[in-house]
Amino acid sequence: MANSLEVGRQDPRHTHAVSGRSGHALDRRGDIGIAFGFGASLLISRLAGWTTVVGPGAVLLAVLLSALVGIGFGYCPARTVA
C-alpha cells in the first residue's frame, strides 16, 4: 500500500495546503489578525490618550490587500516552477 507522500507525488489532486481541512486552526488566522488589530488600536488609545477609530472600510481594505499579496506571492512562484 502506498503512503500519502507517494500518492501525492503521483496525483497532484491529492496535494493540498496544511489549512485544506475545514475547521483547522490555521483557517482562523484572518479573524485572529483582525482581533489583534482592534486590540492594538485599543491599547494605543488607552496608553497614549488618543482617540482611535477602526472602520469597516479599513478592515476590508486590509483584508483585500493581504489577499492580493498572498495570491501574488503564491501564484508567481508556482507559475515559474510550472
> Whose grid coordinates read 515559474?
80
pLDDT per position as a tens digit, 40-66: 999 999 999 998 888 999 989 988 998
The count of other CB atoms within 10 Å of the CB of residue 43 is: 11
> Whose grid coordinates read 491529492?
14
31: burial class by Cβ within 10 Å (0-12, 13-18, 19+)?
Answer: exposed
26 vs 30: which has the higher pLDDT:
30
Look at residue 21 in the predicted model and tell me its pLDDT.
Answer: 55
